[in-house]
Amino acid sequence: MEEDIVTGILISEEGALSLDEMIHACGAEAQWIVELVEVGILVPKGVEVAAWRFGAADLIRARRLARLQRDFGAGTEAAAVILDLLDEIERLRAQLRRAGMQIG
């Protein structure tokens, strides 16, 4: 039985989601997202709130942060540090992979 193939919109690093869409995608409150932008954890394009456009990396980062806050009871600042460290680990892993090492 042939299933219909669904086609979506590709969201890349370039901004694509508005604040409302971000709120909805994270299941979060507006204030939480705004705070993350204010402390520089999320960096949307656009200056005014209405013009903010978040990319795929922002959405993934925000959800990861929420999980860290939920699962470890981490404050926003601590969760942000954890995120940065995780990113750095991933960067280092990528470097090792490029050099030919088998890194998981």
CB 4 within 8 A of CB 44: no
Of the candidate residues 1, 38, 50, 98, the single one contacting another protein (CB under 8 A):
98
Least gap, CB of 44 to another protein (angstroms): 15
Quick check: 63 binds another protein (CB under 8 A)? yes
Provide the token pair at 31.
């204030």
Applying CB under 8 A, the residues found at the interface with another protein are: 3-13, 24-29, 56-57, 59-60, 63-64, 66-68, 70-73, 82, 86, 94, 97-100, 104
